[in-house]
Structure 1
Amino acid sequence: MDMKKFVLLTAVITMLASCGSNDKGELVGVKGKSWHPEKPYGMELIPGGAFIMGKGDDDLAGVQDAPAKTATVRAFYMDATEITNSEYREFVNWVRDSIVRYKLAVLADEVGKVPDDGGIGEFAFKDADTANMSVYEKYMFENYTGLGPTGYEGRKINRDVDLIFDTSDYPDEYYTEVMDTMYLPLEDSYNGQRTWDVKKFKFQYSHMDIQEAARNRGIKRRDAIVKEEIEVYPDTAVWIRDFSYSYNEPMHNDYFWHDAYSEYPVVGVTWKQAKAFCEWRTIKKNSYQKSRKAAMVNTFRLPSEAEWEYAARGGLQAATYPWGGPYTKSDRGCFMANFKPVRGDYAADQALYTVEAKSYEPNDYNLFNMAGNVAEWVNASYDASSYEYTSTINPSVNDNNNQRKIVRGGSWKDVAYFLQVSSRDYEYADSARSYIGFRTVQDYMGTQVTGK
């Protein structure tokens, strides 16, 4: 090619590359969608900042696991209240209904039923009619569906048809067969009640162990993906097991499911169940965002120990309790939280067990019950010396091999010491208690929001 032709070709390519562009050849960056921060429902924005973490006064219990240190955390959103029974029931019901829909779709596929056939066919997989798939969906279906152990991985269950729970309205014998598998056998039931087999309410999800992937540069991405399967129904028997020689059967029978307790904090959930709830909440919100073609939101998660303490302090430095301190009563003689103020007297604070999640006065970040009511799981492993070696920016210690997970804030059955914002306690990750619940957080997008 001679020089004249080369110059002409270069000019044509340059003109084509610039055609339709208004950047005038300048470096302007990739233009994405405009971003408008949206405060998640039921959450409060906690501005980032520095604080004195740990015991600001004498460690009266002599535990010496929280020496004072300066720490800084980034901005984040936090639930104004503990997760309630009503909110957790939505999670349980979603898992239950998803399993029922999946079983209905599988059986419909096995017996060759499609939506036009009615009955169980109405619950067939949404991709049962491949003619209505997009090009991409058809490609994914033909190349990736059915590669797992069941052969149904990746197929979409139908959520557009309402499930039928009244036995007199079951549409056919196939539907009856599936529903029957979700209940306890008759010999395990009593008083003529049909009881769900809650052991089958299992939530499956995957997440990436980013810490492991970052430490091990040679690891393949697929090897850093962790798959979990968690039974999600809370352990209602904790009301019996936690207190020997004590009559708590009414709490066992009614606390989680009865509407009278809908706005009370959920208890009887393990650390692993709390983590699963966070994953589900993220899926729920992002499914809605996707339907609106809106930007995906950050994941919901448990707070780090530093985030929890920072939020509990409500912007007050060196305070003993979320409301300041060092007293548990107001100037009018009223208790400021739900705890056990006197030996054997749980009702002195006007509450015998838990109270509604939005009770007592919130702290200065508008967070309720950061002390008392129920202790709260955080995303941290307990190590008595962790304050000595953690980073001073967003400090976090969560060792997968250490199953002792931090709980914070104290509860309705605890003495005042555990209500202090700096007090640390722990429970094992697979344990459930009648006095432990949780609340969730979400990262704030951006860094400009800081406290005073």
Structure 2
Amino acid sequence: MNWSKLKPLFIVSIAAIMSGCGLFGKGGGESSRTTGWEYNAEETGNIPNISGYEQETGPGLVFVQGGTFSMGRVDQDVMYRNDNFPRRVTVASFYLDETEVSNQDYREFTHWTGRVYPGDVAKLKAITPDSSVWREELAYNEPYVNNYFRHPAYSDYPVVGVTWEQAEAYCEWRTDRVNEQVLVDKGILAHDNSQTGQNIYTTDTYLTGLYEGSAGDKPIELDDGTSRRPKWEDGILLPNYRLPTEAEWEYAAYGLIGNTDGELLTDRKIYPWNGSYLRQDKKKEKGRLKANFVRGRGDMMGMAGALNDNADISAPIFSYEPNDYGLYCMAGNVNEWVSDVYRPMSLQDIEEFNPYRGNVITEYRRDANGELVRNEYGELVKDTIENMDYRNILDGDPNSQIIEDNNWNAHQNNTTEGMYIQDERPGAFSSLISDEVRVYKGGSWQDRPYWMNPGTRRYLEQTKAQRDLGFRCAMTRVGSPEGF
């Protein structure tokens, strides 16, 4: 058979097939599999379509491929809380900060706030870390009170003294600044250092058309010659930075991607590294500690001339070796806030996919004319939708409420306060558990090794701060878990 004669015919046939599938439509555009109409073409009314979208990795983030793992305790529960029994769950792929948020990172937040809202002392104070957390009655820590957050010597150290609420505020601010820069890089926006009052760029106000921008801002141009500002459906802007869920944080800390053979997990982990040892076994680093923690009573860093972890308090954010996801200091250094509301029975009230306690579903507030409402800072106001605050779901229902009599039906509508005793009288017993108490994880420079196990968990009121408690941000992955 003469293949040289058939080759042109073969090429023409393939071209005809591809043309019929819309791959070689007029102008080279794709066509709808539903109607055959060409996408993004003037003559068909510019039907929008974006194919082959792949999410860009936001600044500072590392991709964490999701999967299944055993969440919860892997060691003896030395606190005897029995609030962390192992259970198998699946976590979707997401992004997580390579390091803890540093003092320099957070100072950008306070600097921007002070510049954009000059004279608003209350707003700046509300986001400033509490340096007094360093004070101790029987320790000379005043140098840290004055220097840890502000001095350049500590710029690359993890920010501490921040509440859960301040960490949330940082995530929102970071989302807006990153998306603003995305639009600047694409030539859609220009930096406007005169932003103030109601005219402040936020991702929400931009997408709803309320941010005016500065002179020279350019909308995107469509194929028909018209133009408009980008929409969320264009895929230009990134999802929100946020605190990771407890499941996401724990999954990422273990870094089990390096411990699999096909779909089999070859080794479980106690720490973010393999084995039960806390010291390096590599020849060059042999004997050095793998993380920043307290080795023994009163031993914060070892002997002079041979400092075992080279850190008396916290260490710079890129210290020690990263885990198999490339994440630094997922054990030791500082504890980290996660998004979840704490409950001792989280292991029972759990979803198999993306478990999380803390959902509060909101919607934008509108005035009598249907217009979106903004606060004094130009931010859109959100209200919780009725009966969609799920932080205390299953609290006080007949299956969870412990009652002193047998009349279960009389206890249908109890609340968190009824289930976990809240008593403000002096000297009275009161549980710390409420809808404003959040989980933190990871262990710190002043913790024993037990707390460096990613499965351990502690909790603190979301308005409180500690000198060994910081955070890192996460971002949702949209689309497939790893790309097709």
Whose helix proportion is higher, 1 or 2? 1
Contact 1:52 1:318 in 2 (8 A): no
* Residue 32 (1) aligns with residue 42 (2): no
What is the 5 A alignment of 1:112-127?
none
- 2:30 and 2:166 map into 1 onto residues whose CA distance is 52
User: 343, 360, 376: which is aligned to 2:320?
Assistant: 360
C-alpha distance in structure 2 between counterparts of 1:297 and 1:333, whole Å: 43
Q: Determine which of 353, 356, 371 is the counterpart of 1:396.
A: 356
In 2 relative to 1, CA 445–200 (structure 1 residues): closer, same or farther, beyond 3 Å?
closer
TM-fit CA distance, 1:59: 2.6
CA distance in structure 2 between the aligned counterparts of 1:353 and 1:305, rounded to whole angstroms: 25
Cα distance change, pair 421–234 in 1 and its aligned pair in 2 (3 A): same
Is the CA contact 2:66–2:90 (under 8 Å) kept in the aligned structure 1?
A: yes
Q: State which of 437, 443, 455 in structure 2 corresponds to 1:422.
A: 455
Q: Of 158, 181, 201, which aligns to 2:124? A: 201
Name the counterpart of 2:112.
94
**Aligned-partner residue type, residue 37 of structure 1:** Q
CA distance in 2, matches of 1:330, 1:200: 45
Counterpart mapping for 1:40-59 below 5 A: 40-59=58-77
Partner of 2:287: helix, strand, or coil?
A: coil
Letter aligned with residue 111 of structure 2: N
SS at match of 1:386: coil
- Cα distance, 1:27 vs. partner? 6.5
CA distance in 1, matches of 2:30, 2:289: 65
Question: For residues 178 and 123 of structure 2, what CA distance do their matches in structure 1 show?
Answer: 24
1:310 counterpart letter in structure 2: Y
Q: Counterparts in 2 of 1:263-412, with a 5 A limit?
A: 263-291=156-184, 292=186, 293=188, 295-315=236-256, 316=259, 318-331=268-281, 332-348=286-302, 349-398=309-358, 399=391, 402-412=435-445
Q: CA deviation at 1:23?
A: 4.7
Does the aligned pair in 1 maintain the 2:293–2:444 contact within 8 Å?
yes
Q: CA deviation at 1:61?
A: 3.6
CA spacing shift, 1:325–1:427, aligned 2, 3 Å: farther
State the Cα distance separating 1:277 from its structure 2 match. Answer: 0.3
Structure 1 residues 411, 272: CA separation in 2 closer, same or farther (over 3 Å shift)? same
Deviation for aligned residue 1:383? 0.9
What one-letter code is carried by the residue in structure 2 that aligns with 1:26? G
Report the Cα distance in structure 1 between the residues aligned to 2:298 and 2:462, rounded to whole angstroms: 29
- Between 369-378 and 379-388, report the one with greater CA deviation: 379-388
**What per-residue deviation string (whole Å, max 9, x for no partner) do you get for residues 69-123 of structure 1?**
11101111111100000000000000110102xxxxxxxxxxxxxxxxxxxxxxx
Counterparts of 2:58 and 2:469, CA distance in 1: 24
Please say if residues 74 and 447 of structure 1, whose CA atoms lie closer than 8 Å, have aligned partners that are also in contact: no
1:201 aligned partner, one-letter code: L
Cα distance in structure 2, aligned partners of 1:432 and 1:23: 56
Deviation digits for residues 355-409 of structure 1 (CA, Å, limit 9, x no counterpart):
0000000000000000000000000011111011210100001227512111100
Counterpart for residue 236 of structure 1:
131
TM-score by length of 2: 0.60
Q: Aligned partner of 2:149: which letter?
A: F
Encode CA deviations 1:303-354: one digit per residue, 9 max, x unaligned: 0000000000011552100012322222222211101110111123331101
Give me the TM-score of the superposition, normalised by structure 1.
Answer: 0.64
Question: Residue 251 of structure 2: SS of its match in structure 1?
Answer: helix
**Percentage identity across aligned positions?**
39
CA distance in 1, matches of 2:74, 2:451: 15
Query: Counterpart in 2 of 1:446?
Result: 479
- Residues in 1 aligned to 2:480 and 2:67: alpha-carbon distance in whole angstroms: 10
1:431 aligns with 2:464: yes
> Quick one: structure 1 residues 448 and 351, their matched pair in 2 at CA, closer, same or farther if it must change by over 3 Å?
closer
Instruction: For 1:281, give the aligned amino acid.
Output: R
Q: What's the offset of the Cα at 1:239?
A: 0.5
Q: Does the 8 Å contact 2:134/2:144 carry over to 1? A: yes
- Tell me how far apart the structure 2 counterparts of residues 380 and 431 of structure 1 sit (CA, whole Å): 15
Q: Counterpart of 1:300 in structure 2: which amino acid? A: Y
CA distance in 2, matches of 1:444, 1:269: 26
After TM superposition, give the deviation of residue 63 of structure 1 in Å. 2.4
- Structure 1 window deviating more from structure 2 (391-400 vs 306-315): it is 391-400
Residues 73-88 of structure 1: matches in 2 within 5 Å?
Answer: 73-88=91-106
Gaps of 5+ in 2: 1-25, 40-46, 189-229, 231-235, 260-266, 303-308, 359-390, 393-433
Gap regions ≥5 residues in structure 1: 1-18, 101-180, 183-196, 203-230
